[in-house]
C-alpha cells in the first residue's frame, strides 16, 4: 500500500480579493493567517505600538535626564564661579595688599608673594574654564552662533586644528533648551574630531534652510564607519542622537574611510526659534 | 435555461430577505473582536436584525476556513443573497463594507 502525500491546498485569489488583502495588511487589519497546516496569529500592530510607546518613554526619560544634568551643571557652574571665584579674587587682592606692605628690602618674601599671586591667577582662570565648560555663559548672553564661534576658537587653540564657523543666521534668538542641545551636540562632535578623526581641518556650520535649522560639523580626517555610528558603545553619538530627537530632529553621519566625517543635525526651525531673525551671509 | 436562472439570481434585489454571513476570526484578537462588534452593529443599524451570523474561529475550525478559501482573519463572507461577497479586515470602514455588501451604491 503506497502512502500518498496530502495535496497542497492552493487557495484561489482573484485580483479584487488580492487588492483587499493588501489594503487590509497595509492598514494593520489582519490578525491571523490561515496556512496550510498552521494558523499564524499576528500581533504586529500591538507589538509595534508597544515598542513605539516604550521608545517614547525612553526618549522622554533621556530628555528629562539631559535637562536635569544641564540644571545640575548650571548649579555647579554658578557655585564654582561665585564661591571659588570670589574667594580667589579676595586672596589675590590680599596678596597684592601684602606685596605693598612688605619692605622692598625683603626680596625673598616679595618673590614668594608674587609666585603665590601667579598661582592664584592661574587658579582663577581654571575656575573660569570649568564654569564655562559646565555652562557656557556666552550661550545665555550672546546666543548660539557666537557661542559656537567661541567654541571653535577654543577648539583651535586647544588642538591646533583650524576650525571655521559658517552661518547664514543673523540675530535669530533660539529657545534655551534648543540652544543648549545644539551647542552640546557641536561640542561633542568637536570632541570626537579631536579624539578620533586625526583631522587637519574642521568646520562647523549652522544654516537655515526653508523650515529647518541644520547644524553640521565636518572634518577631513580618517572617517567613520557605519558600525561605529550604530554601535551601542558609541555613547557620545547616542547622547547626540537623543538630544536631536528631543528637538524632533534627526542626526546623521556620512563619510567613508579616509574621506572625513560629516555630522548633520536637522531640527525644525519652529522647534528652536523664538525671536525674529535677520539673515546675513 | 440554467444560464438564464443564474443570470436572474445574479441581479436579484436583496429586498427583505435575510442576510447570511460567515465571519472568520482568530480567538479574541483585537481586529477579530472589532470585526464581530462592527458586524453586529451593521446588522442592527442597516439590516434591522435581518441577518444570520455564523462566526468561525479558525483556531478551532481551520478546515472550514480553508474550504472557504480564507487566507487571513478577520474575513467576512456574505453567503446569501447571491452573489457571494468577501470582505477582509475589521469592518471599521462602514461605507466601504456597505458598498461591498451592496447595501449602498459604490461611490468609488
Q: pLDDT digits over B45-100, tens only?
A: 888 878 899 999 998 888 888 888 888 999 999 998 888 889 999 898 888 888 88
- Report angle CA A74, A79, A84 to the nearest 5 degrees: 135
Provide the pLDDT confidence category of residue B11 given band limits of 50, 70 and 90: very low
pLDDT at B1 over 50: no
pLDDT value, residue A229: 84
- Distance, CA of A79 to CA of A73 (rounded, Å): 10
pLDDT in tens, chain A (281 residues): 455 666 665 666 677 778 888 888 888 888 888 887 788 887 776 777 888 888 888 888 888 888 888 888 878 877 887 788 788 888 888 898 888 888 888 888 989 999 999 999 999 888 887 877 777 666 777 788 888 998 899 889 888 999 999 998 877 788 888 888 899 899 989 988 988 888 999 999 999 988 899 999 999 998 888 888 888 778 888 888 888 988 889 999 988 777 899 999 999 988 887 765 444 43
B17 within a domain of the structure (yes/no): no
- Distance, CA of A223 to CA of A256 (rounded, Å): 5
C-alpha cell at A101: 606692605
pLDDT value, residue B12: 38
Mutate which of B70, B73, B84, B101 to test chain A, going by most A C-beta atoms within 10 A? Answer: B73
pLDDT value, residue A217: 95
Cα B104 to chain centroid distance, Å, stands at 14
Interface of B with A (CB under 8 A): 24-27, 29-32, 58-59, 62, 65-66, 69-74, 86-90, 92
Among A27, A31, A43, the residue with its CB nearest the CB of B73 is A31
pLDDT value, residue A202: 94
pLDDT value, residue B6: 46
Q: Which residue of A has its CA nearest to B26?
A: A32
Using the beta-carbon criterion (under 8 Å), do A21 and B25 form an inter-chain contact? Answer: no
pTM of the complete model: 0.54
pLDDT value, residue B21: 93
B86 within a domain of the structure (yes/no): yes
Using the beta-carbon criterion (under 8 Å), do B30 and A31 form an inter-chain contact? Answer: yes
Residue in this structure with the C-alpha cell 551647542, named with its chain if needed: A183
pLDDT value, residue A250: 92
pLDDT value, residue A46: 72
ipTM of the complex: 0.72
Distance in Å, alpha carbon of A12 to nearest chain B alpha carbon = 7
CATH number at residue B74: 3.40.30
Range of the domain at B59: 27-108
pLDDT value, residue A84: 83
Among B31, B86, B92, the residue with its CB nearest the CB of A17 is B86
Among A17, A24, A32, the residue with its CB nearest the CB of B29 is A32
pLDDT at B38 over 80: yes
Q: Number of A:B CB contacts under 8 A?
A: 77
pLDDT digits (tens, 9 = 90+) for A224-273: 888 888 887 788 888 888 889 888 899 999 887 778 999 999 999 888 87
pLDDT value, residue A279: 43
Q: Which residue of B has its CA nearest to A10?
A: B69
- Dihedral sign for Cα A234, A60, A248, A45, please: positive
Q: How many domains does chain B have?
A: 1
What average pLDDT does the segment B35-48 reach? Answer: 89
The CA distances from residue A237 to A81, A182, A200, in Å, are 30, 13, 22
Among A12, A21, A41, the residue with its CB nearest the CB of B29 is A41
Domains of chain A by start residue, with CATH: 142-272 (3.30.565.10)
Q: Is B46 helix (H, G, I), strand (E, B) or coil?
A: helix
Name chain A contacts of B101, Cβ cutoff 8 Å: none
C-alpha cell at A117: 599671586
C-alpha cell at A79: 557655585
Q: Which residue of A has its CA nearest to B85?
A: A17
pLDDT value, residue A4: 64
Amino acid at each position: 500500500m503506497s502512502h500518498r502525500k496530502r495535496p497542497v491546498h492552493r487557495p484561489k485569489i482573484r485580483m479584487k480579493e488580492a487588492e483587499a488583502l493588501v489594503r487590509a495588511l497595509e492598514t494593520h487589519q489582519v490578525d491571523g493567517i490561515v496556512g496550510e497546516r498552521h494558523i499564524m496569529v499576528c500581533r504586529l500592530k500591538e507589538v509595534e505600538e508597544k515598542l513605539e510607546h516604550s521608545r517614547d518613554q525612553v526618549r522622554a526619560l533621556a530628555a528629562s535626564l539631559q535637562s536635569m544634568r544641564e540644571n545640575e551643571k548650571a548649579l555647579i557652574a554658578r557655585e564654582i564661579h561665585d564661591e571659588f571665584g570670589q574667594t580667589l579674587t579676595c586672596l589675590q587682592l590680599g596678596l597684592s595688599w601684602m606685596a605693598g606692605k612688605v619692605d622692598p628690602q625683603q626680596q625673598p618674601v616679595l618673590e614668594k608673594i608674587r609666585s603665590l599671586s601667579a598661582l592664584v591667577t592661574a587658579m582663577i582662570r581654571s575656575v573660569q574654564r570649568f564654569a564655562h565648560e559646565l555652562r557656557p555663559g556666552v550661550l545665555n548672553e550672546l546666543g548660539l552662533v557666537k557661542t559656537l564661534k567661541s567654541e571653535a576658537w577654543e577648539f583651535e587653540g586647544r588642538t591646533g586644528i583650524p576650525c571655521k564657523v559658517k552661518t547664514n543666521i543673523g540675530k535669530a534668538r533660539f529657545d534655551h533648551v534648543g540652544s543648549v542641545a545644539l551647542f552640546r551636540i557641536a561640542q561633542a562632535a568637536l570632541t570626537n574630531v579631536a579624539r578620533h578623526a586625526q583631522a587637519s581641518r574642521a568646520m562647523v556650520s549652522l544654516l537655515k534652510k526653508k523650515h529647518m535649522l541644520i547644524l553640521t560639523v565636518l572634518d577631513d580626517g580618517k572617517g567613520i564607519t557605519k558600525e561605529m555610528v550604530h554601535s551601542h558603545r558609541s555613547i557620545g553619538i547616542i547622547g547626540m542622537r537623543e538630544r536631536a530627537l528631543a528637538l524632533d530632529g534627526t542626526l546623521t553621519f556620512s563619510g567613508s574611510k579616509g574621506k572625513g566625517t560629516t555630522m548633520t543635525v536637522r531640527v525644525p526651525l519652529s522647534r528652536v526659534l523664538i525671536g525674529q531673525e535677520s539673515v546675513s551671509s | 435555461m440554467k444560464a438564464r436562472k443564474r443570470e436572474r439570481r445574479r441581479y436579484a434585489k436583496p429586498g427583505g430577505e435575510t442576510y447570511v454571513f460567515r465571519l472568520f476570526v482568530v480567538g479574541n484578537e483585537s481586529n477579530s473582536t472589532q470585526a464581530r462588534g462592527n458586524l453586529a452593529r451593521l446588522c442592527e443599524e442597516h439590516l434591522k436584525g435581518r441577518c444570520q451570523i455564523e462566526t468561525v474561529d479558525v483556531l478551532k475550525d481551520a478546515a472550514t476556513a480553508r474550504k472557504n478559501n480564507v487566507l487571513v482573519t478577520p474575513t467576512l463572507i456574505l453567503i446569501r443573497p447571491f452573489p457571494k461577497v468577501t470582505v477582509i479586515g475589521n469592518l471599521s470602514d462602514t461605507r466601504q463594507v456597505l458598498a461591498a455588501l451592496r447595501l449602498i451604491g459604490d461611490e468609488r
